[in-house]
Structures are given as C-alpha cells and as structure tokens.
Chains A and B, each alone.
Chain A
Amino acid sequence: MIDLTNRRSGGEATSSIRIVGVGGAGVNLLNRMVRDGWSAAHLLAVHCDAEALEACGAGGKVQLGPTATRGLATGGDPQLGAEAAREVLSELRDGVEGNDVLFLLAGLGGGTGSGAAPVIAQLAREAGQFLIAVVTLPFSFEGERRNAQALEALEELRRQVDLVLCFENDRMGEGSAANAPVQEAFGNADGTMAQSVQALIALLTQRGLLHLGYDDLRAALSRARARCLFGYGEASGPNRTHEAVVRALRNPLMEKGQLLKECRKVLVSLSGGTDLTLNEVQLIMEELNRHIGPATQLLLGLHVDPTLSERLVLTLLSSLPGPGGEEEEVAQEAARREETTRTPSIAETSGLPERSSGFLKSRPETSSEDEEDEELPLDLPRATAGGRSRKGPTQETLQFEPVTRGRFAKSEPTIVDGQDLDVPTYLRYKIRINA
C-alpha cells in the first residue's frame, strides 16, 4: 500500500499503486516526489540514461536499451526510445504488473518519453491495469519537430491509457513570476504535477462520504486533445472555505478560475477534518458555482480525514477541449450516456441547471451525520442544503435569488462558523417574508 503518511491524505490506501517515471522528465518528477517524502517503494524509474537513472531515488529502476543506446540517452529520437524499450520488455512487464492503478509520468517530445511511454502503456494495458498518464507537452520554443513528436506520442498514449492528464509546459510557467529563477519555475511545475498525482491517488484510494470513482474521473478528464486544468488549495482558520477556493483557483493551470467557465465537467474533491460541516461544503460549492458556466457540472467528492484536523483541502480537476476536440467529445459523451443506465438526478428531472445536481445528490449521505454534530446557533429552522442552491421547483414558498450579498458583494466576506454573515439572516434561516 502506498505510504502517504507524511502527505496530506494520510488515509489507508486499499489498492496498490505504482508510479512509473519514463525518460528525463519522468525521472525528475520521481526525484521530486522522493524529496517530498513519498515512499520510494512504489516508484519505478525507467530511462535510457544510465547516469540519470543511477542518481534517481526511486525504489525500482529499469535501464532501457542496454544495446540500443548503451547507457546513453536517445538524443531525442522516439524510434530509438521505443526500440530501447522493446529490448527489455520482460523487465518492464515485471515492473508494471500486479498493481491496481498505474501512473505513467513522462515528458513528451523527447526520445525516451515519447518513444518508450507508449510501449510501457501497452504492456500495462495488456496486464489489465487502470492506467493514468500524467504527461507534459514541450515548450513551444523547443521547436516544431519536438512538438509534433509530442502530439504523436500523446495520440498513441490516449489509445492505450484510461486517463490522460496533460500539462502544457508553456502554461506551467504562468504560475511563476517572470523574474523567477528557472530552477524555481521548473520546481513549481514539478510540484503541480506531483500534487495532481497525489490528489488523484487520494481520490481513488480514499473511501469518502461521497466517493468519486474512475468513471467520474474519466468524465471530467478524458477529452480529445484536452488541456488539463488542475487546482489545489489548502486552508485553515475561520475563513478557510473562502481561502481554499481562492488558493485552488490561483494555481497556474487555472487562470484564476476563468477557464472553469468553459469546462463541461469539473471534479471537485474536498477533504476536511472531523469538524468539516455541511455548511462549509455548501459555501465552497456556492463559491465555485460563481466561477463556472451554466453548462458546467460539478462532480463532488467528499472525504473526512481526521488527520487533517482543522485544515481543508480542495482539489479541482477538469479539462478543456483542445481545437477540434469538442465534437468528438460530445459524441463520446452521448454514447456513454446511452450505455449507462444511471437514474437521472433530481436536477435533470426537474429541469434545474445540471451543475447543481452533484450537490443535490450529496444531501442524503451527508446531512444525517453532519447536522447532528453541528450546533444550531439559533432555535430556528435551519437552511437546508438544497434550499439555497438554485431557484426551482424544490422550493415552493421561497423564491430566492442565487446567494446574494447585496451591498457587500464586493467587500471581504465575514464568515463565522462557516456562515457568510453578509447574506441576510432571514435567507440563511429560511424565514418567510411577504414582500
């Protein structure tokens, strides 16, 4: 089981996970993970360059192409990379087999990453594993050829793996200041990728109150020629809901949440300590609702982790369709929808905007447990989760506008015990007013 004890997730993982770093970029990322305190036993480094491989702290190592490259790198030739990988097929197979989930980390565009990664993906697929590729596309200044190689490899990978998380190097730089040292900028990029892997692991392994499964992940992320959006925010203190959202949106791949508007599905994973209240979940979802477009659906995963104590961890994952990817995506989704026999959510049957459905669905599971713990500040009927989210047939008596702060819309929110005090009290307590 992956040891994440000094990571944030802390929960017992129930499935085995292996993280394979392929090529220079992949090995670098593994090194970063080792430095961050990930358990080396689950990391497998695969590289042609014997020297780089030697220096890597991963638990397992496979040297590619003992005869094809003789311990040197491929010189940016994917064919040589693929050839090198085929030389050691049996070793690779041993390395990737026997796990539930396999992460494949690679920088596409070079020889080893673009050439060997698809070969390894194919092996893993044959072994019947759930395969997630976390890859980077080269900087545009690296030249047309490298870009073409990268895209080709990406297409290849997409055919083999279950899920591709694709980060563009060009965009990763946006998270760093223009005058940041290049080492720091690269470090930040690696950090973002490591966080995304960690978040995915947490999503897949932790049994939450509201569980997000592989299918949700796939719905949010697998888009043709997609651009990946990833946001991670951690906060504590009295204003933690607001801060977690702000921090998550501040991530380099988010563009302050502007891009969320264009997403069709956004995966929201929220973990908190035992003091996480339903109200806080509600606040976060409401705040996110302000950043998404009318057609966006939020898929909520909720997880209580006692080790987090007062902290709140919010992860956002989504993907944007790349050029020409949209139609394909729509078609795929339509096909998937027909296949699945899931019952329509409340939102769909009642004609509500679809995005609130994730939240409405969440109520029965969380409310019983969370509301008991909460002290009611007043002897008043409590605003229920569904009541505030959208105007619609679920509320017959009260016609609420979407959460309104009126005069205070632009000022710093006053949040006490997870309640936004700027929102009129009578709205929060569902007092009926004859206006």
Chain B
Amino acid sequence: MRRHRIGLASALLTLSTLAGVAQAAPSAREIMQSSRDIQEKPATRRGNMTMTLVDKNGDHRVRKVTSYSKKYGPDTKSVLFFLEPADVKGTAFLQWGYEEKDKDDDQWIYIPSLKRTRKITSSGKNQSFMGTDFSYDDMSTRSVDDDDHKLVREDTVGDQAVWVIESTPKKLGEDDEYSKVVSYVRKSDYLPAKAEFYDRKGNLEKTLAIQSVTTVNGIPTPQKLEMTTVDTAHKTLLEMDGLEFDKPIDDELFTQRMLEKGP
C-alpha cells in the first residue's frame, strides 16, 4: 500500500476533521482514529484550493487548484486541475490510489505544452507541493497505527481548550519526513488548532495553524490553514472554498482523457 501523496480531496481533511464529539475524554489514539474514520466517510469530495506563498520579505505568489476525489471500495481516485499561475494553467494530475499492500498507486500528469499525458512515479514524499510549505507527505493520508500517540498535556490555544498529542512513527522509515508531530486538538470539536512538525533530527521544521473552520455536510472542516517553515520564515496560506462532500461525480472525470479536456 502506498500512501496517497496527492489525494488532495482527502488532504482537505487530512489536517482536520477530528469531529465527532466524544462523550468522555478519549485517548490520543482514539482521537486520531476518529479523525481517520471521518476522513474516510464522504464517498466523493470536490473543492477549490488557493495557496498564497509568502516569503520572508512579504512577497506573495498564488497557486490555485480545483480537485475531485471518489472512493471505489477501499481505493480512491483523485484528480487535480491547476488553475493558477498562468504558466501552469491546464496542468492536471490524476491518481488512482490503492489500499492493497505492495500495490503502487497509478499516477499521471498532463502537461499542456507537451500535449501529452505522462505516467509518473513520484518517490519524493518530502518534496514541496507546488512550491508551497506543504510537502506531498503533508497532503497525504496516514494510517493512525503507523504512529504511537501520546497525550502530553492539556493546554489552550487562543480561547480554545486543547489536548496536546505527540505522534511518533512506530518505526522511523526512510520515507518518513518527520520524527515527531505535535497536534493541539480542540476539545470543543476535535479539530486541530495547530500542529508542530519535527524533522528527522528532532528539530522543529514547520508549524501549522488553523485560522478558520467551516462545516460541510455537518463535518467541521478547516477553511484556512497557515504552514510556516521555521528556517526560512517562508509560509503558505491555504484557503479552501466550494467544498462539497458526497455529491455525484462522473467516473469519467478520473480518466487520462479528462486530464487534457478538463472538468
């Protein structure tokens, strides 16, 4: 099984959707499992994502994509269409993600200047996603049982009471980008208020802040997120709109032919 590196529609919720209010204080693992279960719930997802990249001088660059995903049993097909900037407009990415162990995901990218859909095999989980502070690994779903989770303490972020959960890989593999992730989970709705990502050497690499939350089909969903790379002070503001869950999406959309044609 490969993790869905650009399962973008899934990624819209990967960093969030810890909804489903527990009746009693759950364990750290139960919180993460709840998050995972809710992520898997919608059969289809679609939405638009605007990523504003801000460097330490305050200069802005904007990336816009629209995404669709659909579950096929345990597998997921997703497609991304790049809208901005203009020089990458028309580029599209298709992924057929498989849960089956040892079965590689199928991935294709359409590049308008070549007029050719290219099969690709991306092994760079740590690679920046479209030049943002999010890596492909950040945008992927990760099995709860890949990590050990520990409730470190209770705290507050802004006016929100939170649990502080520390997640570490059970076995730090070559593909693991982080040695530790610390999540600050809001007690009110189980959404993360912020998170800290530590590199393989244990140094703080990136911080994530959830700036606003919306509700889609009764599921609390982060609408604005900000990821900051500590070393470079480079940050990415990720804003989602037009989110829709469980609306019908034609199977045809998840084909190579549609990469060129567009949604």
Q: Do A and B bind each other?
A: no
> Chain A: residues with CB nearer than 8 A to chain B?
none
> Chain B: residues with CB nearer than 8 A to chain A?
none
